[in-house]
Amino acid sequence: MIKIPGSEITPESMELHYMVGSVQRITLDKLSSSSVAYKYASLDQLRFELDLRANIVNAAIELGNSKFAFRTFRKSVCNPDYWERTNEGGFLLKDGIKPSDAIRDIYNNSNKYGTECATAIVIVYYKAFVGIFPEKQFNDLFQGIYLMNWGYLDSDLGIRYYQSVSDVLPGDCLYFKNPEVNPLTPEWQGENTIDLGNGMYYGHGIGIRNAEGIIAVLNRKRKSDATESAYLLDSATRPGFKRLADRYYGTIDRKPLRHYIAEDAVG
């Protein structure tokens, strides 16, 4: 269920604003029908999360359809016009470059980039934010972007890892674990994916597939005598939706959210 103190607009009435099958609608239905109480300070906070989740899904699909390559950190590549590749294989925003331009370049010149799956998820998040925050605000918020794995994140993203989530929602980052990975290819120890809300997942290096498809690829990356299959964990990684919403609404005048794509591309 959804709890919004003092709000006269119910989640049910909000459904009318979103198309059936859209990420927002799927998310809203899941939140409403859950036995868990999802609390929001305001309707705006809820709307922000719904729209950001839709942006995450769309950014994942777009990256999945791009020429962005899978490469290990040792062999990672990026466009040197925007990013400096560090010795450990991460991408550091170059001085004098707008963060929004650099993130867009990963999509526009995707053939110039290649890295591992966790970094791809962070890129998806930033692209989703570029689509939702006004450019100046985005660039003020995320000035020193460093794209590597989960260990190097801007605290403003508020990204957290949640164990045993009750409800998996579109836009969640879910992890497929590969416990018997070949020790020579630790990059396949698991796969970070974005739940697209329609039974499909985007995982960098694997593409857009259902859970069985992701597991089948990971199983091919196991050690030769492996007996345990890869599997989907019941955890989820999520950006700090409420924190980001507060950033969005706290620092600029209220205005309707700009949408990444006019209508949802999911389904």
117 binds another protein (CB under 8 A): yes
Residue 130 makes contact with another protein by CB under 8 A: no
Among 153, 211, 226, 265, binds another protein (CB under 8 A): 153
Residues 177-236 that bind another protein (CB under 8 A): 177, 179, 183-184, 186-187, 189-190, 192, 223, 233, 235
Q: How far is the CB of 191 from another protein (least distance, A)?
A: 9
Distance CA 159, CA 98 (A): 22
For the chain, give the number of residues. 267
> Does 149 sit near another protein (CB under 8 A)?
yes
Site for another protein in 225-264 (CB under 8 A): 233, 235, 237
264, 58 contact by CB (below 8 A): yes
The interface region with another protein, picked from 15-23, 51-59, 147-155, 242-250 by CB under 8 A, is: 147-155
| The only residue of 88, 135, 228, 234 in contact with another protein, by rule CB under 8 A | 88
Which ranges of the chain would DSSP assign to H, the alpha helix? 11-14, 23-33, 43-64, 99-108, 117-132, 135-141, 211-219, 241-251
Candidates 96, 151, 250, 256; binder of another protein (CB under 8 A) is: 151
CA-angle at 13, arms to 8 and 14, nearest 5°: 95
Q: Which stretch binds another protein (CB under 8 A): 32-40, 82-90, 139-147, 249-257?
A: 82-90
b/e 163-186 (16+ beta carbons within 10 angstroms → b): eebeeebbbbbbbbbbebbeeeee
Q: How far is the C-alpha of 29 from the C-alpha of 32, rounded, in Å?
A: 5
| Residues numbered 44-63 forming contacts with another protein, rule: CB under 8 A | none
Residue 223's CB is within 10 A of a number of other CB atoms, namely 12
Nearer to another protein (CB atom), residue 109 or residue 235: 235
Residue 264: exposure state from Cβ atoms within 10 A (0-12, 13-18, ≥19): buried
Q: Is 12 in the site for another protein (CB under 8 A)?
A: no
Nearest-angstrom CA–CA distance, 115 and 65: 15
Query: Can residue 129 be called a binding residue for another protein (CB under 8 A)?
Result: no
Contacts of 230 (CB under 8 A, 6+ apart): 176, 177, 178, 179, 190, 191, 214, 215, 218, 219, 222
With CB under 8 A as the contact rule, the residue among 11, 89, 197, 205 that binds another protein is 89
Q: How many residues bind another protein (CB under 8 A)?
A: 31
Residues that bind another protein (CB under 8 A): 73-75, 86-89, 116-118, 149-151, 153, 159-161, 175, 177, 179, 183-184, 186-187, 189-190, 192, 223, 233, 235, 237
